[in-house]
Amino acid sequence: MALNIVLIGPPGAGKGTQAERLAARLRVPRISTGDVLREAVALGTPLGGLVRAVMARGELVSDDLMIEVVRERLERPDAAAGFVLDGFPRTVRQAEALDGMVAGRGPLTVVEIAVPEPELLRRLGARQVCRACGANAAPEAAAAGRCGRCDGELVQRADDDAGVVRERLQVYARDTRPLVQHYRGRSLLREVDGNAAPDDVFAGLVRAVTEAGR
Ligand SMILES: [Zn+2]
C-alpha cells in the first residue's frame, strides 16, 4: 500500500514543517519543488542543466520542465513506497501529469491544510525576525520585542507587509481553486483543520492519510 500524498496549504499554514514531519512519520521522502530543482542542478543531470540555464536567465521554471524534474525524482527507488509532495502540483496541467506518474502505484491522497484568512493575516502579519541574527521570533519574544537568542531588535519581515501578504493569499487562492476542483471531483481530497496548534494539525494529517489508506 503506497502512501502517495500531496500536501496543499496557504502561506502561513506551516505546510513545509508539516510535510517534513509527515514524511518522517510515514518513512517516505518529502519532495518539495525547491529541493528537487536544487538537487537536479547539483546532480548535473541533463534536466538539471536545463533548470540551471532557466534560472541563470532569471526566468521561472516552466510547467513542462517542472513536470519532468518531478517525474525523474519520483522514479528514484526511495519514492517507490510513497512520498509527500510539497509545492507540486501547482497547476491543473501538473496535476494531470502527476495522475499519469502515479498510475499503477496506488491511489493519490491530497490533503489541504485549511486556515481561515483572518488567521493567516494575523500569523503572517505577526511574523517578526531579529535584525541582528535573523532568527524568527517566537510569540513570547515578539511580545517582549527582543530576540530570544541574542536580545537583538525585532523587525517585521520584509515580505510580510499587509499588502504583500494579501497578494500572496490571493495568488494562492487563484492557483489552488482549480486544483481543488480537479481532485474533489474524484474524492481524493481531504481537508485538515489548520487553525490549531501545530501538534494538533499534525495529528489531523496523520488521521487523514491513515483513513484514506483504508
Ligand atoms: Zn537575534
State the 10-residue block means of pLDDT for the chain, 214 residues long: 88 92 96 92 92 91 94 94 95 94 91 89 76 79 78 78 80 90 86 94 94 67
Residue 180 Cα distances to 34, 47, 57, 103, 145, angstroms: 22, 29, 32, 19, 39
pLDDT of residue 32: 94
pLDDT of residue 139: 63
For residue 78, the Cα-to-chain-centroid distance in whole angstroms is: 20
pLDDT of residue 24: 96
pLDDT of residue 214: 57
Omega before 198 within 30 of 0, i.e. cis: no
Does the pTM exceed 0.85?
no
Centre of ligand 1 to C-alpha 156, Å, is 13
For residue 213, the Cα-to-chain-centroid distance in whole angstroms is: 21
14 and 198 Cβ atoms separated by less than 8 Å: yes
Centre of ligand 1 to C-alpha 159, Å, is 19
Centre of ligand 1 to C-alpha 195, Å, is 28
Which residues are catalytic, by number? 15, 90, 127, 157, 168
pLDDT of residue 78: 95
Environment of ion ligand 1 (residues, CB < 5 A)? 130, 132-133, 135, 147, 149-150, 152
What is the distance in angstroms between the CA of the first residue and the CA of the last residue of the chain? 9
